[in-house]
Structure formats: C-alpha cells, structure tokens
C-alpha cells in the first residue's frame, strides 16, 4: 500500500514540475556579434519566467565567449493557460571595451502578440 501511494505521489510531482518547463532553442548567429534564440514555456510557465530564462541562456552564451550581453529586442507570444508562451530574443555579445557596449546600443521596439 505504502509503495503504491509513494509511486502515485512521485508521478504527481513529476507532472507538476513538468508543467513549468521551458524549452530553449539553440543560439543562432544572425549577424556580426548578433544572435537569436527562442524560449518556449509550456504548461503553467509564465511569460516573465520564459523571458528570464531566455535572458539567462543568452547571458550564459555570451559568458562562454568571454563577452557581455546587450539585448536588442524581444518578441513575445502565447496566452497563459491557452497556448505556450514564447520569447524570441535577439541579442549582442560584445567585448567590454566595445563602444556599443559602453554606450548601450539598445533598441526600444519590443513586440507582444497573442
């Protein structure tokens, strides 16, 4: 009896945790020092959670190159509880002495679509 209950609760825990999963794409070069990635949040993942994980993935990627993250634009899609949330992030990996890094080359046009 105890063993069966334990297995049932283990399955329930896995289902709950899986409901908050985010699935990243590979980082793709799209220009000089410019990259893009897509992060998809499934289940009960929030848009904010999906965005933060996309930024963390981008930051880790730039760190591996010995460079610094500068975001360019982020487009979001999906409706909580209805469709997966997606964050499409375009970013730069720049050296610390790069003028675009020191002067903040930032674009302010982000899009949100449902």
Judge whether residue 64 has pLDDT over 90. Answer: yes
Q: Are 49 and 20 in contact (CB under 8 A)?
A: yes
In 3-state terms, what secondary structure has residue 58? helix
Phi then psi for residue 107, to 5 deg, are -100, 140
Distance separating alpha carbons of residues 114 and 104, to the nearest angstrom: 30
Question: Encoding tokens for residue 61?
Answer: 């990627």
User: Which residue(s) pair with 76 in the sheet?
Assistant: 87, 112
Model pLDDT, residue 93: 96
Distance separating alpha carbons of residues 39 and 20, to the nearest angstrom: 13
Q: Are 104 and 67 in contact (CB under 8 A)?
A: no
| Confidence tier at 100 by pLDDT (50, 70, 90) | confident
Q: 16 or 84: whose pLDDT is higher?
A: 84
- Mean pLDDT, rounded, of the chain: 77
Q: 58 or 102: whose pLDDT is higher?
A: 58
Listed by start position, the domains of the chain span 21-113
Q: Are 35 and 50 in contact (CB under 8 A)?
A: no
Model pLDDT, residue 22: 60
User: Which residue(s) pair with 23 in the sheet?
Assistant: 40
């Amino acid at each position: 009896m105890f063993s069966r209950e334990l297995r049932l609760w283990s399955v329930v825990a896995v289902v709950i945790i899986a409901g908050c999963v985010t699935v990243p794409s590979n980082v793709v070069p799209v220009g000089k020092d410019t990259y893009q990635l897509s992060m998809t949040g499934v289940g009960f993942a929030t848009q904010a959670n999906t965005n933060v994980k996309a930024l963390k993935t981008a930051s880790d990627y730039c760190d591996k190159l010995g460079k610094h993250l500068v975001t360019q634009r982020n487009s979001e899609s999906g409706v909580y509880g209805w469709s997966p949330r997606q964050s499409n992030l375009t970013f730069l990996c720049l050296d610390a002495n790069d003028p675009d890094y020191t002067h903040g080359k930032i674009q302010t046009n982000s899009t949100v679509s449902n």
